[in-house]
Amino acid sequence: MVNPVLPSSGVLSPLGLDAVRPLPGFWGDRVALGREVIVAHCREWMDKEGWIGNFRGGAPRRGREFSDSEVYKLLEAMAWSGDPGLPELAALVARAQEPDGYLNTRWQGTRYLDFAWGHELYCYGHLIQAAVARLRVHGEDELTAVARRAADHVCRRFMDAPEVCGHPGVEMALVELYRATGTERYLEMAARFVARRGTPALGEVPAGRAYFQDDRPVRLARVLRGHAVRALYLAAGAVDVAVETGDGELLAAVEAQWERTIAARTHLTGGMGSRHDHESFGEDFELPPDRAYAETCAGVASIMLAHRLHLATGRARYADLAERTMYNVLATAPALDGRSFFYTNPLQVRVPEEPRAGVNHAAEGGLRSPWFDVSCCPTNVARTLAWLPGLLATGDAAGVRIDHPTPAEIRHGDLRLRVETGYPWVGEVRVRVLADGAGRIALRVPAWAEGARLSRRPAAGRPGHQPARPGYAVAEGPWRAGDELCLDLPVTPRWTYPDPRIDALRGTAAVERGPLVYCAESAGGTPSLDAVTARTGPPAEHAVAGAVELEVAAQIGVPAEPGWPYGPAPGGRDARPGGEAAGADTVLRLVPYHRWGNRGPATMRVWLPV
């Protein structure tokens, strides 16, 4: 089967990329953008910056110590997409490998001297994932041989050694290579890496052991902490190990960590990471909108973890979080033309920035950049969009589950289905049966979709209707060609309020519609958002360029006078005795968060004072 994650057990099985064919629509368009634009964009920039040239040798090395991993992520995207340029690039990588399997353009001759920051095993992880993609799509070739030699080298060097890599990632790659080849030592090596972390396995560092998740063993941790991408990659690897070894205790530990992280350390968009310092999680309920880091790579890692937990348990809750993150982090990162990217995804930007034509060295701020000196995010977007079709539907012995509705053709067992929908802009999801068959068809009903309804329209006979509660709406076969299921999801706008324990969000509200988070954006000469207060009446909808924008009633407050900004009245010196903000009535236009920043420099905010 062609899929990036193929567990040998679990409640659900993923459907292969060869069994789910996206059609033009929200995700089909983005998969095509990745294949046709983003992959080439990433290769062009890595050629320009010299990162691919590092594998040729002979010239001073360029890029950070982990830049090899970006070339490997590009190879993975090319493998899933069937890019004809892969063999040439793979051959270049192969020529740089040493006879014993070691491969790293930064540390050749000085290998394994810095486990905390060297990223050698992390780079192997992305090399191995690229090779698994190539193996499943194409079969054995030069790239898969390179990765096998590297994995065998890792097993020889580290099976009985005490070290781990400061950046997890090799763990889930080794498990997937085990799944693809049946070689037991790869699974054993991954399990030992997971078990060693937190014993502790790394030295003291100024950032603290929690930065590396090395402060306590994985199965004893209570919440995800430290560097967000590292934490999520490690948790995903631990789930893989737990599933393949039957370790229910380890799986339960990661589930409990995920639950607390979702309850207290996750932004409304699904973004993870509250601190720019160390790109890390904050404490519980430390979720400031303007200082949210919410790195794009953390969003990708969160989707990977949620998908693995969903396959292992079958719980729709995990797919709900994956959907939130897909629409509001993954879809947000690339510009609509696929040629610039967000590294961080804050929920408020106070000062518009000037456009940048080259490399962004800060990797922060309110504008997408074509490239970064740490460009993990563009390549992560490229590979994720390449394998995204494998995330859309799952199967079990009873039939098929459509987890993420988007126009697509799906086959599983006897079932041949076409999904037709304008989701997320409209709530109707129509599933048309293309051939006679048997089996259960289930459609996920998100937690926000109270009042959803499922209709069955047989090709011959009377239609039937039933309520569809959050979880899965299920219809049983047998099926005849021409039968239809129609799930109606209520994608009307709704106001969302924060937990009062989130200090930075008290007195605010946000607007969501379906799976989409909305934001106010000041592009195009509209006034600053600092003085705007929203009224929480029903938002008005407007169709704009194939999307849906919203309008809410608001007031523009009186600009503050010089002096002390605090006073006895609620809301400060500019508040009236009754608590109503002084100012002029206005209408505030809201855009889907994933579309903001495409019209030039802008201020932006998701959480609106009310």
What is the reported pLDDT for 350?
Answer: 87
Which parts of 159-278 fold into alpha helices (H)? 170-181, 184-196, 228-245, 248-264
What is the reported pLDDT for 95?
Answer: 97
Mean pLDDT of 312-333: 98
Mean pLDDT of 241-247: 98
% the chain with pLDDT above 70: 95
Q: At 571, is the pLDDT very low, low, confident or very high (cuts 50, 70, 90)?
A: low
In the chain the domains, ranked by start, together with CATH numbers, are 13-391 (1.50.10), 395-488 (2.60.40), 495-609 (no CATH)
> 49-63, 97-111, 577-591: lowest mean pLDDT where?
577-591
What is the reported pLDDT for 582?
Answer: 57
Q: How far apart are CA 453 and CA 460, in angstroms?
A: 21
Mean pLDDT of 267-287: 96
* Neighbouring residues of 409: CB distance < 8 A, sequence distance ≥ 6: 20, 21, 23, 416, 417, 418, 419, 434
Q: At 166, is the pLDDT very low, low, confident or very high (cuts 50, 70, 90)?
A: very high
Q: Which residue has the higher pLDDT, 545 or 176?
A: 176
Residue 94 pLDDT > 80: yes
Mean pLDDT of 525-549: 85
Residue 580 pLDDT > 60: no
Residues 23-32 have pLDDT tens digits of 999 999 999 9
Taking each helix axis from N to C terminus, what angle separates 228-245 and 184-196, rounded to the nearest 10 degrees? 130
What is the reported pLDDT for 220?
Answer: 97
Taking each helix axis from N to C terminus, what angle separates 170-181 and 184-196, rounded to the nearest 10 degrees? 160
Taking each helix axis from N to C terminus, what angle separates 142-158 and 170-181, rounded to the nearest 10 degrees? 120
What is the reported pLDDT for 207?
Answer: 87
Query: What residues does 590 pair with on adjacent strands?
Result: 520, 550
The three state secondary structure string of 61-76 is: CCCCCCHHHHHHHHHH
Dihedral sign, Cα of residue 205, residue 206, residue 211, residue 215: positive
Residue 380 pLDDT > 60: yes
- Give how far the C-alpha of residue 339 lies from the chain's centroid of Cα atoms, to the nearest Å: 19
* Neighbouring residues of 271: CB distance < 8 A, sequence distance ≥ 6: 292, 293, 294, 295, 298, 299, 325, 328, 329, 345, 347
DSSP 462-504: --EEEE--SEEEEE---B-TT-EEEEE----EEEE---TT-GG
Q: For the chain, give the mean pLDDT.
A: 93
Q: How far apart are CA 481 and CA 436, in angstroms?
A: 5
Q: At 98, is the pLDDT very low, low, confident or very high (cuts 50, 70, 90)?
A: very high
Mean pLDDT of 195-211: 93
What is the reported pLDDT for 572?
Answer: 53
Mean pLDDT of 382-399: 96
Residue 9 pLDDT > 70: yes
What is the reported pLDDT for 137?
Answer: 97
Residue 581 pLDDT > 60: no
Residue 12 pLDDT > 60: yes
Contact 163, 106 (CB under 8 A): no
Contact 544, 519 (CB under 8 A): no
Mean pLDDT of 529-540: 88
> 125-139, 248-262, 415-429, 457-471: lowest mean pLDDT where?
457-471
- Structure-token pair, residue 441: 């068809």
Residue 110, judged by CB atoms within 10 A of its CB (0-12, 13-18, 19+), counts as: exposed
